[in-house]
């Protein structure tokens, strides 16, 4: 897969079955924000315990799937990817103590995209004028939303989510260098889980752990994370890179709608404007980058580094 943007012939057309599975994966990613907010906003569990249960349950389901796929699974430890996963998961949990589901998903998604595009620029990739405009628009949207006001989100929670987004962006870029996304994800979860359990044992307040909180954390780890990632990896290889990239624009939107329906969160004009600006900017940047990557690939079929499609297969999802 590395060094090639070729896709199967059927990737050009999106079948009904593939579209359904793709929607299910995106809904799973959006549900992560809902489950975390449900567990932490009402104090059913503390952030560190939620993180440890989420990673442990994710590790269990991913290991089961990996063993089912291969009698001799390969577990490879990647310290940087493990650290990025832990930072993401913990910061994600901490942020949802104070952030609404839609706000958190938007900040996370924006931070992930800005991190990945920044890494591309750092590596010397020449972005098109369209990508630069989209990049700038996304940053402006995030900054505009974070300006002080009556309905400003609490800055500690915002900072935690931006850290989570940067960590997930690094994790995505790191994962794009691998060959088997399921094995890589299972390895990272298996490595990160015992460390977070030890941290939770040492530092979390056991009085804040309830059965309801544990169930929500386990659903987040096993279903909307573990199974969600496996489903995403299965489907995204069958579709075009641009489709894979743009379809995730729906995650913050679905999270915001889910927050309105299940949590009674307000859909403010400020959030709506920021969403349109950030998601529109990201879409513009992705489209421009697709053109740039295609042109670069045509000039040099042996270029180094992960392709755009590989970045969205490995480590994708939030």
Question: How many Cβ atoms are within 10 Å of 100's Cβ, its own excluded?
Answer: 25
pLDDT of residue 9: 43
CA 121, CA 68: separation in Å to the nearest integer?
A: 40
Question: Does 308 have pLDDT greater than 60?
Answer: no
CA 204, CA 198: separation in Å to the nearest integer?
A: 10
pLDDT of residue 1: 29
pLDDT of residue 175: 72
* Confidence category of residue 123, pLDDT binned at 50, 70, 90: confident
b/e sequence 145-181, b meaning 16+ C-beta within 10 Å:
bbeeeeeebeeebbebbbbbbbbbbbbbbbbbbbebb
More confident call, 127 vs 233: 233
pLDDT of residue 203: 81
In sign, the C-alpha dihedral spanning 318, 157, 50, 48 is positive
pLDDT per residue as tens digits for the range 6-39: 444 444 456 788 888 888 988 999 999 999 999 9
Sequence ranges of the domains in the chain: 15-313
Lowest mean pLDDT among 74-88, 184-198, 298-312: 298-312
* Confidence category of residue 201, pLDDT binned at 50, 70, 90: confident
pTM comes to: 0.83
pLDDT of residue 74: 75
Torsion-angle region of 299 (φ positive above 0: left; ψ -120 to 50: alpha; else: beta): alpha
Average pLDDT over residues 276-296: 73
Question: Does 113 have pLDDT greater than 60?
Answer: yes
pLDDT of residue 248: 77
Please report which helix (H) or strand (E) contains residue 283, including its range.
Answer: helix 269-299
pLDDT per residue as tens digits for the range 53-95: 999 999 999 999 988 887 777 778 889 999 999 999 999 999 9
- Residue indicated by tokens 């006001």: 149
């Amino acid at each position: 897969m590395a060094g090639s943007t070729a896709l199967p012939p059927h990737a050009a057309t999106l079948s009904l079955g593939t579209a359904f599975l793709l929607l299910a994966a995106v809904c799973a990613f959006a549900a992560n924000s809902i489950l975390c907010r449900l567990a932490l906003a009402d104090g059913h569990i503390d952030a560190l315990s939620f993180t440890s249960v989420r990673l442990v349950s994710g590790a269990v389901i991913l290991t089961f799937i990996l063993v089912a796929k291969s009698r001799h699974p390969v577990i490879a430890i990647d310290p940087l990817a493990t650290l990025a996963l832990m930072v993401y998961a913990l910061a994600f949990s901490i942020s949802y103590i104070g952030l609404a589901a839609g706000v958190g998903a938007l900040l996370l998604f924006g931070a992930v995209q800005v991190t990945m595009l920044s890494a591309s620029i750092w590596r010397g990739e020449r972005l098109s004028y369209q990508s630069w405009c989209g990049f700038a628009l996304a940053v402006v949207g995030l900054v505009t939303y974070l300006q002080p006001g009556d309905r400003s989100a609490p800055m500690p929670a915002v900072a935690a989510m931006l850290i989570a987004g940067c960590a997930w962006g690094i994790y995505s870029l790191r994962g794009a260098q691998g060959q088997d996304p399921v094995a890589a994800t299972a390895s990272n979860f298996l490595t990160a889980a015992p460390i977070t359990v030890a941290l939770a044992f040492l530092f979390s307040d056991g009085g804040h752990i309830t059965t309801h909180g544990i169930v929500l954390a386990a659903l987040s780890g096993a279903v909307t994370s573990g199974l969600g990632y496996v489903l995403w990896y299965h489907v995204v290889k069958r579709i075009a890179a641009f489709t894979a990239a743009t379809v995730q624009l729906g995650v913050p939107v679905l999270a915001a709608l889910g927050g309105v329906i299940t949590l009674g969160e307000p859909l403010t004009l400020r959030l709506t404007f920021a969403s349109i600006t950030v998601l529109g900017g990201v879409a513009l940047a992705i489209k421009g980058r697709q053109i740039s990557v295609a042109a670069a690939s045509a000039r040099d079929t042996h270029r180094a580094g992960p392709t755009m499609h590989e970045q969205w297969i490995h480590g994708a999802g939030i």
